[in-house]
Amino acid sequence: MGKEAYHRPVMVREVVAWLVRHSGIYIDGTLGGGGHSLAILQALRDKGLEKRSFLIGIDQDSFAIAEAEKTLVSFRERTRFVQGNFREVAGLVNALRENELRGMEVTGIFLDLGVSSFQIDTSERGFSYLRSGPLDMRMEPGEGQSATDIVNTFEERELADIFFRFGEEKKSRKIASAICSWRNERGMITGTQELADIVRSVVSVPDQQIKSLSRIFQALRIAVNDELGALEEALKEGAASLSPQGRIAVMSYHSIEDRMVKHYFRTLATDDWGPKGVGLREPLHKAVFTLVTRKPLIAGDDEVNENPRARSAKLRVIERKMYSGEVSESDS
Ligand SMILES: C[S@@+](CC[C@H](N)C(=O)[O-])C[C@H]1O[C@@H](n2cnc3c(N)ncnc32)[C@H](O)[C@@H]1O
């Protein structure tokens, strides 16, 4: 399968332009089909930085790793693949840095959040209400609780919470109640189409139906994979692993994720003056990062027209300062 067929990467030019500036270790925490990784490696080569650089590609999905291995075959010598969760990025990368990548610094970290087109389009993975399949939604197939487990064992209130918090669905309570009635009257919900029918039974207006279906499926996916918890840990671990002048770039497609990234990046880039009114003369902690993008970068009209997935993409970038209190020349 070609990389375009597996997943068409979003804002590739922007990611490369804002991320790739120095040699060192680049971590792609969401390898997918390897589209962004390929562009990063090509940019390193074009800039003459290839020899002192390495790319570590992480994905929790073994199908993604297999696909990316094909995409990146011409950079085999400069690439390592790790099947795992990016929430453990520091541990995964340190294991390599203690051995074959000893002495190398982490210069760039990239996250392209969510699921790939391949994952959504594979009916057996159960991510889409448009495809009939088991209600699964695990990004790491077979590991941890599936969407079937959640839908059939969580209490009504917990389900409503998931739909409201992660899907911002207004009819979250009614949909959770309809799920529990189905469970009582008809037994387990095990397929994408059963869940879709339940949502349709609550939301009857066609336009709203589609929106609610997307929101409910998205919310469940976020809960199944603990996507917000994983992002929070990855941002912390990533920031701690990065070398001076290294950058982190995160692309998100969901407002909750973008807000998390924005707030965490701001915290990293702001001096800590302690509680208000204490009147310190020096901050408790000086910011060691600087914001590269104050506002998120978004895809251009041409890309959005060609790839609807790019419409909601938001890219934010942060850079570690040279050393505490000083910013690098490239800060702008
Ligand atoms: C949007 S796709 C990335 C596409 C990729 N940039 C490309 O060019 O093909 C997101 C990928 O990240 C993976 N993923 C999502 N959350 C993850 C996590 N917590 N740990 C590891 N991989 C994750 C998914 O399995 C999926 O393959």
Residue 2's contacts (CB-CB under 8 Å, 6 or more residues apart) are none
In the chain, the DSSP E strands lie at 25-28, 54-59, 79-83, 106-112, 242-252, 289-291, 314-320
What is the average pLDDT across 309-321? 97
Whole-number pLDDT of residue 99: 86
Whole-number pLDDT of residue 4: 59
2 pLDDT tier (thresholds 50, 70, 90):
low
User: Comparing 129 with 271, which gets the higher pLDDT?
Assistant: 129
Pick the atom of ligand 1 nearest to 9's CA.
8
Residue 2 buriedness (CB in 10 A; 0-12 / 13-18 / 19+): exposed
What is the average pLDDT across 290-298? 96
Q: Ligand 1: does its nearest atom lie under 6 Å from the Cβ of 148?
A: no
Taking the C-alpha atoms of residue 140 and residue 136, their distance in angstroms, rounded to an integer, is 10
- Is the confidence at residue 221, as pLDDT, over 50? yes
Q: How many helices (H) and strands (E) does the chain have?
A: 14, 7
Taking the C-alpha atoms of residue 200 and residue 209, their distance in angstroms, rounded to an integer, is 6
User: Comparing 97 with 246, which gets the higher pLDDT?
Assistant: 246
What is the average pLDDT across 122-129? 95
What is the average pLDDT across 143-163? 97
Whole-number pLDDT of residue 271: 86
Taking the C-alpha atoms of residue 319 and residue 269, their distance in angstroms, rounded to an integer, is 9
DSSP code per residue over 42-73: HHHHHTT-GGG-EEEEEES-HHHHHHHHHHTG
- Is the confidence at residue 1, as pLDDT, over 70? no
- Is the confidence at residue 279, as pLDDT, over 80? no
Q: Ligand 1: does its nearest atom lie under 6 Å from the Cβ of 237?
A: no
Percentage of the chain exceeding pLDDT 90? 84
- Sheet strand arrangement including 25-28: 79-83, 54-59, 25-28, 106-112, 242-252, 314-320, 289-291
Pocket residue to mutate for ligand 1, from 30, 36, 237, most atoms within 8 A of Cβ: 30
Q: Which two tokens stand for residue 72?
A: 């990146």
284 pLDDT tier (thresholds 50, 70, 90):
confident
Average pLDDT in the chain: 93
Question: From ligand 1's centre to the CA of 34, what distance in Å?
Answer: 9
What is the average pLDDT across 222-249? 97
What is the average pLDDT across 298-304? 97
Place of tokens 């309570």: 173
Q: Which two tokens stand for residue 153?
A: 């064992």
Q: Ligand 1: does its nearest atom lie under 6 Å from the Cβ of 111?
A: no
Whole-number pLDDT of residue 35: 97
Question: From ligand 1's centre to the CA of 324, what distance in Å?
Answer: 32
Q: Ligand 1: does its nearest atom lie under 6 Å from the Cβ of 246?
A: no
Whole-number pLDDT of residue 23: 96
3-state class (DSSP) for residue 265: helix
Q: Ligand 1: does its nearest atom lie under 6 Å from the Cβ of 35?
A: yes
116 closest CA partner among 131, 108, 128: 128
What is the average pLDDT across 129-138? 96
Q: Ligand 1: does its nearest atom lie under 6 Å from the Cβ of 112?
A: yes
